[in-house]
């Protein structure tokens, strides 16, 4: 028996690889090996493709999508193979033109030999001549919806009115697909989330250049919101936090309401990530659960900020958030802010909502602010309850104010206590970037000054804003955007004896980015001794702004232009009211983080031009 040595196999293999590494590069020096760079046909196209069409858009479309283009880079393509390719090119061109609505084009393909002027010049030229003929247009549309919903006839009529490919429009495959998808999304957005496209048909009469469309949707069952189930969160009370979402349990499914609930949970501060879905796999569409997949936010968070404002200059801030205070379980947001006109320290504590939606809150604030002609050191203590519903916010609370005014001729130190009620109704299409709808807010407070003497007073304030549609601007390609008029009114009054020393924090000042543009922040007020500026007991503000979309080369943009007129007045007596007017224009940009507003305003009384910048919208 022969026994072989037991040398490990890996060593011969390693030696063999090393020899290959050393010897193979030398093979390129052996005679007879062709160099790829020296191949005569390297980099040479097999043929040149020339497309002639009576429509530039059609020519560009064919140049981009014609399958024949893929074979131009094959330098060894034979003439016989090219001839076979031309036989399929005609059908391919007709198929492409049909997607644009041209079903009876005149197409001619020519193959021409081309003398090589340079070594890299193609040997052949393929010439495609196209006369597109009449474009097919929509002649009739038949849309039907079947299912078990009571409003299907109305929804079917709505789909017919808003159909994205109306009668008279050119037929294209892309527009046809988009219109079907748009109709399906419309059904799925309200009441019928499982709706599907059951059948569709486009009958083309190429001789008459007409198309008849038929679409049939199956709505599926009508769904209603069931209970909200929060999954993935362990740190916080999910039952109480679910009430923040304001999901309308028992109401018909509405995608917008689902997204609003998702936004409320995301903005609550308790979760870093929130995603809501309707459970359509259950057996009861009348009470379909809504599943909220969440990821807990940290128990505490410290946030540093830096910014700049045209009203108060550079700003530094620090926020501390505690999502579950020991012993109380409330959420606390504490803040320190410093800018050119304001130094602020505050803390606000808020409980989770109870079963009826009401929650308790309390807060304290200490600030130093430039108010009119004086520096004011003030404190504010507040405690009460608040309720937030889908459109309406309510609150009632007790408040204690103190104000110490510093400067020559300043009013005396004063303090007051008051009981207040506030109501806000928002009926906008979008609360963060509205383009239509209206909002109304009112506050009323009954109180008494405490220092230097006790005097009763009543404070009331009312705000209103509305967006009025002025018609549509056609941006081309069936894209239209509405121009609108934004109207805003604000008024307030403090009713008390003339001798009452009301804390300036309860009085009114106006002017600045969000009130009267063309004037600096809170520079419009009442005048006291020697023309010094101070808060007044009566306030009136009005604004009108015309907003229009900006069109660039016929295309839709995220920018809008605005022209505005603002007016505001503050005084201690109604008869002393004298309006300060600002006029100007600006730009609006729908940025990813919210609407950005840049305005240039001129004050007719101040004779000054001011730039106003604002990010976001609140009412």
353-615 maps to which CATH number? Answer: 2.40.160.50
Beta strands in 429-537 (DSSP E): 437-451, 456-474, 480-496, 526-527, 533-534
User: Taking CA 270 as the corner, what is the angle to CA 265 and CA 273, rounded to the nearest 5 degrees?
Assistant: 65
Contact 501, 411 (CB under 8 A): yes
Q: What is the pLDDT of residue 39?
A: 43
Contact 368, 342 (CB under 8 A): yes
296-334 pLDDT tens trace: 999 999 999 988 777 777 899 999 999 999 999 999 999
Report residue 53's pLDDT band, with 50, 70 and 90 as the boundaries.
confident
**Cβ partners under 8 Å of residue 382, min gap 6:** 361, 362, 363, 364, 365, 397, 398, 399, 400
> Cis omega (within 30 of 0) on the bond before 452?
yes
What whole-number distance in Å separates Cα of residue 333 and Cα of residue 323?
8
Among 60-64, 166-170, 367-371, 507-511, where is mean pLDDT lowest? 60-64
Q: What is the pLDDT of residue 605?
A: 94
Q: What is the pLDDT of residue 473?
A: 61
Residues above pLDDT 70, as percent of the chain: 87
Q: What is the pLDDT of residue 298?
A: 95
Taking residue 286's Cβ as centre, other Cβ atoms within 10 Å add up to: 11
Q: What is the pLDDT of residue 438?
A: 96
Report residue 437's pLDDT band, with 50, 70 and 90 as the boundaries.
very high
> Which residue, among 438, 444, 442, has the nearest Cα to 426 in the 3D structure?
438
Q: How many CA atoms within 13 Å lie on the side-chain side of 310? A: 20
Report residue 187's pLDDT band, with 50, 70 and 90 as the boundaries.
very high
> Which residue, among 489, 501, 508, 507, has the nearest Cα to 567 in the 3D structure?
489
pTM across the whole model: 0.74
What whole-number distance in Å separates Cα of residue 587 and Cα of residue 563?
9
Indicate whether 36 pLDDT > 60: no
Q: What is the pLDDT of residue 37?
A: 40
Taking residue 442's Cβ as centre, other Cβ atoms within 10 Å add up to: 14
225-296 maps to which CATH number? Answer: 3.10.20.310
User: Taking CA 222 as the corner, what is the angle to CA 262 and CA 276, rounded to the nearest 5 degrees?
Assistant: 15
Contact 52, 128 (CB under 8 A): yes
Q: What is the pLDDT of residue 49?
A: 80
Element (H, E) at 318: strand 313-322
210-228 pLDDT tens trace: 999 999 999 999 999 999 9
**Cβ partners under 8 Å of residue 358, min gap 6:** 385, 386, 387
What whole-number distance in Å separates Cα of residue 587 and Cα of residue 547?
9
Indicate whether 27 pLDDT > 50: no
Report residue 48's pLDDT band, with 50, 70 and 90 as the boundaries.
confident
Q: What is the pLDDT of residue 554?
A: 59
Domain boundaries, the chain: 47-131, 137-218, 225-296, 298-352, 353-615
Indicate whether 155 pLDDT > 50: yes
66-76 pLDDT tens trace: 888 777 767 66
What whole-number distance in Å separates Cα of residue 426 and Cα of residue 438?
7
What whole-number distance in Å separates Cα of residue 77 and Cα of residue 74?
6
User: Taking CA 97 as the corner, what is the angle to CA 93 and CA 101, rounded to the nearest 5 degrees?
Assistant: 165
Contact 140, 169 (CB under 8 A): no
Q: What is the pLDDT of residue 97?
A: 86
137-218: CATH homologous superfamily? membrane protein fhac (3.10.20.310)
For the chain, report the end-to-end CA distance as a whole number of angstroms. Answer: 99
Report residue 85's pLDDT band, with 50, 70 and 90 as the boundaries.
confident
47-131: CATH homologous superfamily? membrane protein fhac (3.10.20.310)
400-419 pLDDT tens trace: 999 999 988 888 899 999 99
Indicate whether 119 pLDDT > 70: no
Q: What is the pLDDT of residue 64?
A: 85
Indicate whether 479 pLDDT > 70: no
What whole-number distance in Å separates Cα of residue 374 and Cα of residue 533?
8
Q: Which residues pair with 481 in a beta bridge?
A: 473
Indicate whether 392 pLDDT > 90: yes
Taking residue 571's Cβ as centre, other Cβ atoms within 10 Å add up to: 19
Give the CA radius of gyration of the chain: 36
Contact 472, 481 (CB under 8 A): yes
In order of 20, 22, 26, 506, the CA distances from 31 in angstroms are 19, 19, 11, 99
Q: What is the pLDDT of residue 477?
A: 54
> Which residue, among 486, 502, 511, has the nearest Cα to 447 in the 3D structure?
502
> What integer is the mean pLDDT of 1-28?
38
Q: What is the pLDDT of residue 142?
A: 94
Same fold, 47-131 and 225-296: yes
Using the CB atoms, write b or e for 532-562: b if 16+ within 10 Å.
bbbbbbbbbbbbebebbbbbeeeebeeebeb
Indicate whether 450 pLDDT > 50: yes
Question: Which residue is listed with tokens 């501060």?
Answer: 269
What whole-number distance in Å separates Cα of residue 479 and Cα of residue 474?
6
> What integer is the mean pLDDT of 344-357?
94
> Where is pLDDT greater, at 312 or 587?
587
């Amino acid at each position: 028996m022969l026994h072989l040595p037991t040398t490990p196999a890996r060593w011969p293999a390693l030696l063999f690889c090393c020899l290959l590494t050393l010897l193979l590069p030398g093979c390129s020096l052996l005679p007879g090996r062709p160099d790829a760079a020296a191949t005569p046909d390297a980099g040479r196209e097999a043929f040149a493709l020339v497309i002639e069409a009576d429509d530039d858009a059609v020519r560009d479309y064919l140049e981009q999508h014609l399958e024949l283009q893929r074979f131009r880079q094959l330098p060894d393509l034979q003439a016989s193979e090219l001839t076979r390719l031309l036989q399929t090119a005609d059908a391919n061109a007709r198929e492409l033109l049909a997607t644009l609505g041209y079903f009876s084009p005149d197409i001619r393909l020519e193959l021409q030999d081309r003398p090589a002027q340079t070594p890299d010049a193609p040997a052949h030229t393929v010439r495609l001549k196209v006369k597109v003929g009449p474009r097919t247009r929509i002649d009739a549309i038949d849309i039907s919806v079947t299912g078990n919903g009571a409003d299907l006839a109305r929804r079917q009529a709505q789909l017919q009115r808003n159909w994205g490919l109306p009668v008279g429009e050119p037929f294209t495959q892309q527009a046809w697909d988009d219109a079907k998808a748009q109709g399906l999304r419309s059904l799925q957005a309200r009441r019928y989330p499982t709706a599907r496209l059951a059948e569709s048909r486009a009958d083309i009469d190429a001789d008459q250049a007409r198309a008849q469309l038929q679409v049939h949707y199956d709505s599926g069952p009508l769904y209603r919101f069931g209970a909200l189930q929060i999954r993935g969160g362990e740190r916080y009370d999910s039952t109480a936090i679910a009430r923040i979402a304001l999901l309308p349990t028992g109401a018909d499914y509405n995608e917008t309401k689902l997204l609003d609930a998702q936004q409320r949970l995301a903005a609550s501060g308790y979760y870093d990530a929130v995603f809501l879905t309707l459970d359509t796999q259950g057996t009861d569409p009348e009470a379909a659960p809504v599943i909220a997949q969440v990821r807990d936010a940290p128990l505490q968070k410290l946030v540093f900020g830096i910014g700049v404002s045209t009203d108060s200059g550079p700003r530094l801030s620090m926020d501390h958030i505690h999502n579950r205070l020991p012993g109380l379980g409330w959420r606390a947001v504490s803040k320190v802010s410093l800018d050119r006109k304001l130094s602020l320290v505050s803390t606000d504590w808020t409980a989770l909502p109870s079963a009826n939606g009401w929650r308790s809150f309390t807060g304290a604030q200490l600030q130093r602010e430039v108010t009119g002609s004086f520096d004011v050191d003030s404190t504010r203590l507040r405690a009460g309850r608040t309720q937030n519903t889908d459109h309406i916010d309510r609150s009632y609370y007790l408040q204690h104010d103190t104000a110490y005014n510093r400067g020559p001729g300043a009013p005396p130190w004063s303090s007051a206590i008051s009981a207040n009620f506030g109501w806000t109704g928002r009926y906008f299409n979008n609360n963060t970037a509205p383009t239509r709808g209206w909002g109304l807010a009112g506050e009323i407070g009954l109180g008494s000054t405490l220092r230097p003497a006790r005097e009763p007073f009543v404070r009331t304030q009312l705000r209103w804003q509305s967006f009025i549609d002025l018609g549509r601007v056609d941006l081309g390609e069936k894209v239209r955007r509405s121009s609108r008029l934004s109207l805003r009114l604000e008024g307030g009054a403090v009713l008390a004896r003339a001798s009452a020393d009301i804390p300036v924090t309860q009085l009114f000042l106006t002017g600045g980015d969000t009130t009267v543009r063309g004037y600096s922040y809170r520079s419009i007020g009442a005048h006291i001794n020697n023309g010094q500026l101070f808060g007044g007991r009566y306030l009136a503000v009005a604004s009108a702004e015309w907003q229009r979309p900006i069109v660039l080369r016929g295309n839709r943009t995220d920018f809008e232009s605005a022209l505005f007129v603002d007016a505001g007045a503050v005084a201690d007596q109604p008869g002393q009211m004298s309006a300060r007017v600002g006029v100007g224009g600006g730009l609006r940009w729908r940025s990813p983080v919210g609407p950005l507003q840049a305005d240039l305003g001129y004050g007719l009384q101040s004779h000054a031009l001011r730039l106003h910048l604002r990010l976001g919208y609140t009412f």
